[in-house]
Structure 1
């Protein structure tokens, strides 16, 4: 039995639900050395900023039990170089591209959106809200619904209607559903979660923090249960909103958890650091799991864990008349 792996991010059709997580595949060239990027549902770029950024001082990565910490700091060439070299390379090859952006003010997000609004090759725009608001004592946009909503409303007013605006949420909040709702009310077409929760490790030999920046984002298998919980809660509250689930996806079974919780797209991040073919393997494993459970379409599994027992998709249920001896 073949499985229809197609999915939709808002009104944009993707051939399958697997995308790269922002910051884990740069802007595609490195990953293209290993396989044809058309085999991805979409490629998500690193978060693009207005000006070039060298990133934070080293050491800025540290291994942790079942995961890793990073404090790279949105290293990148800036929007000018991205528009001149990186996006055209993707557009010329017809790669579905989710462009991630990050800023320090609402005006900066707006200007990034304006620069990208008419740029060929932008499939969707992901708004990295885990950036400090320089106009509000450095408080992270993602931690307050009103601050996040202001960014989303500004970006949505600039982008063309056919380019979905995706709000990327952080788990370090009291109520992720309220932030999600504020973003959707402000015009977000989809939500992406989770960005890395903040963590820290101390080097017991050096007697110092393992990262130069002291704290960093935690990723890898350790955050999977946290990420699945966030997707579950937001899907339960906003069942009609497309969700990209990510955080600790190392296998098709991990991806399946996100789909069952309500995600229609799944991001793969840390796994790529040691297995550049991880996206292809995970998509194949997910398809095998769907087939083994008699699911003919990925869409039939999205949010399935929320449904009461016995309410499986119609084609999986035995007709009551046929079940009578």
Structure 2
């Protein structure tokens, strides 16, 4: 019998699929839909200390192979998601709690309240927010990355994970992995966030497609698949004691298989979920099962992380 179940940090999951933070997880109704979906796990919207409206509309636009967005971290504030986390049915599926405080102090305040709530939610520290005007990505400031990991590791008693921006240089893979490996409490790495500061143009009107940041925004969807797979594989090989969550370019079962083969233990769906809704998980599971059957694999463990080189 074909088995799509898997384990993440020792927790059994019915499938290796989940949403990407920011997609279908902003409000309780969306979170409930994810909880009822065929996803094996789910993550909240990356939250700030207080509620944010985000950037002005239009701030998202569909492209032929993905999307461009500059959302600006719209969210209901950390307490809203903490209230949800305290009600979530963890027997049904694990919940990741994504945090993107605008300052170190904000992050420490939110993390302390998550810890005090005693929920089983898994903390994901989002260190890659490319679409907040005036705010640089922590993931590209290696000194700041080291500092925040040290502070969170000291303040938070449980294991946690980080969401990273895409990296494009082998030296950066090495340097970031060296920093991450210093912190035993960093148990998982989510990569990648969207590729920041892309630009697309409407040929008819000769204008940019989104309003914030003069049209510059994060690129998602199939455009980013090769970059996402490279980052997944790079950190899988460099951080062998940490689990990898793959994110980027996933819209088919084949894409899911590629992420798992490259080293991901879980695979997030972003742009395609935004466009198609939680029903997409049914199709992705079916397509993944078909590929596994054709290749003679009965479990994910038989091929996960076993990418071959020439």
Q: In which range does the TM-score fall when normalised by the shorter chain?
A: 0.7 to 0.9
Shift, 1:285, TM fit = 2.0
Q: Which residue in the other structure is 1:298 paired with?
A: 300
Q: Are residues 151 and 266 of structure 1, via their aligned partners in 2, closer, same or farther at CA, if it must alter by over 3 Å?
A: same
The 1-side partners of 2:110 and 2:25 are apart by: 18
The 2-side partners of 1:255 and 1:34 are apart by: 18
Superposition TM-score, scaled by structure 1 size: 0.83
Q: Which residue in the other structure is 1:118 paired with?
A: 116
Q: Which residue in the other structure is 2:3 paired with?
A: 3
Q: Which residue in the other structure is 1:315 paired with?
A: none
Q: Which residue in the other structure is 2:259 paired with?
A: 258
Secondary structure at the aligned position of 1:217 is classed as: strand
Secondary structure at the aligned position of 2:106 is classed as: helix
Q: Which residue in the other structure is 1:168 paired with?
A: 163
The 2-side partners of 1:125 and 1:76 are apart by: 17
Q: Contact 1:97/1:121 (CA < 8 Å) preserved in 2?
A: no
Q: Which residue in the other structure is 1:24 paired with?
A: 23
CA root-mean-square deviation: 2.5
Q: Which runs of 4+ in 1 moved over 6 A?
A: none
Shift, 1:172, TM fit = 4.8
Larger Rg: 1
Shift, 1:50, TM fit = 0.2
Shift, 1:288, TM fit = 2.9
Counterpart pick for 1:97 among 95, 98, 101:
95
Aligned length: 300
Q: Which residue in the other structure is 2:155 paired with?
A: 158
Q: Contact 1:3/1:291 (CA < 8 Å) preserved in 2?
A: no
Q: Are residues 263 and 93 of structure 1, via their aligned partners in 2, closer, same or farther at CA, if it must alter by over 3 Å?
A: closer
The 5 Å alignment of 1:1-325 reads: 1-3=1-3, 5-8=5-8, 10-27=9-26, 29-30=29-30, 32-33=32-33, 36-37=36-37, 39-84=38-83, 86-91=84-89, 94-131=92-129, 138-161=135-158, 164-172=159-167, 174=169, 175-186=172-183, 187-198=185-196, 199-213=198-212, 214-276=215-277, 277-306=279-308
> Mind listing any 5+ residue stretches in structure 2 that lack a counterpart?
none
Superposition TM-score, scaled by structure 2 size: 0.87
> Mind listing any 5+ residue stretches in structure 1 that lack a counterpart?
309-325
Q: Which residue in the other structure is 1:313 paired with?
A: none
